[in-house]
Chain A
Amino acid sequence: MRTVLRAFGECCVTAGAAVMLFLAYLVWGTALQASQHQHAFATQLQQEWGTGHGARPVTARLHLVTGKPFAFIRIPRFGAKWRFAIVQGTGLPQLALGPGHVPGTALPGRIGNFAVAAHRVTAGNPFYRLSDLRRGDKVMIETAATTYTYQVTTTELVLPDDTAVLDPVPGHPRQHPSTAVITLITCDPPWTGTHRIIVFGSLEAANGALRP
């Protein structure tokens, strides 16, 4: 009896230690992996864009390859240092690298809906503070040739099956878009899958110049 109890106790202690290690992995391990990828992405994009040599290509096309970066996202409310490279795709392998562009949605700056999803926690917690965004906050998307500035319009809490937020005109499945909007998506509450926080914004400026 004593042997059985002891073995059971040892298993519990071992399992407890493994769970604590797993939590450490989720918080620090995934963040470390993501930051290594983000560092490589930043170097790669800056090389491709030739920002190290001054001039940017005037007519740079976006190359969308799943799992590869094509733009930076900056949100001043999250701090001057907050910047992530956006990769193409929103499968778990891509979201582990950083924010992902939802395939099939518009390109940054174009008419339609440019949708970006990112983890709330794990992978460096890119969208941890997404719920802090308020109307008028800026969301900047830097591409090879242009920096697009969106302004937050509304924030919504929706159920996971609400795919209408990804429509070209969010919430209106069959409507034809006439403006460029952005949709940022993450989960709420953190760690879970019960709801989604959606932040909508509309394009205000390109390269600092206000749109007519």
Chain B
Amino acid sequence: MYPWLWRHLPGGVTSKLACTILLALAAAALLWLVVFPWLTPHLPLDQVMPR
């Protein structure tokens, strides 16, 4: 997966590295802003109310 990604990123090492960091940040942002807020209420974490 990662070697394939590295081969397909454009330019030299600097450009590839910059793209990698950008992609990683985009993936992290997607997780942090969309996936995690959606996921948290579905997990049986820290349940405080009697039921």
Contact = CB atoms under 8 A, between A and B. Distances in A.
Interface residues of A, number: 38
A106 interface: no
Contacts of B21: none
A21 B29 CA distance: 10
Nearest to A90: B49
Contacts of A158: 50
B13 interface: no
A10 B1 contact: yes
Interface in B1-51: 1-2, 28, 31-32, 36, 39-41, 44-51
A192 B31 contact: no
Contact of A186 (B45, B48, B51): B48
Given A10-B2, A26-B40, A193-B44, A21 B49 contact: no
Given A21-B32, A92-B41, A185 B51 contact: no
Given A117-B48, A119-B48, A25 B41 contact: no
Nearest to A117: B48
A131 interface: no
A26 B39 CA distance: 11
A196 interface: yes
A90 B47 CA distance: 11
Given A25-B36, A30-B40, A193 B1 contact: no
A122 interface: yes
B38 to A, nearest CB: 12
A71 interface: no
B25 to A, nearest CB: 11
Contacts of B45: 26, 122, 191-193
7 tightest A-B CB contacts, nearest first? A193-B47, A25-B36, A163-B50, A92-B41, A117-B48, A10-B1, A187-B48
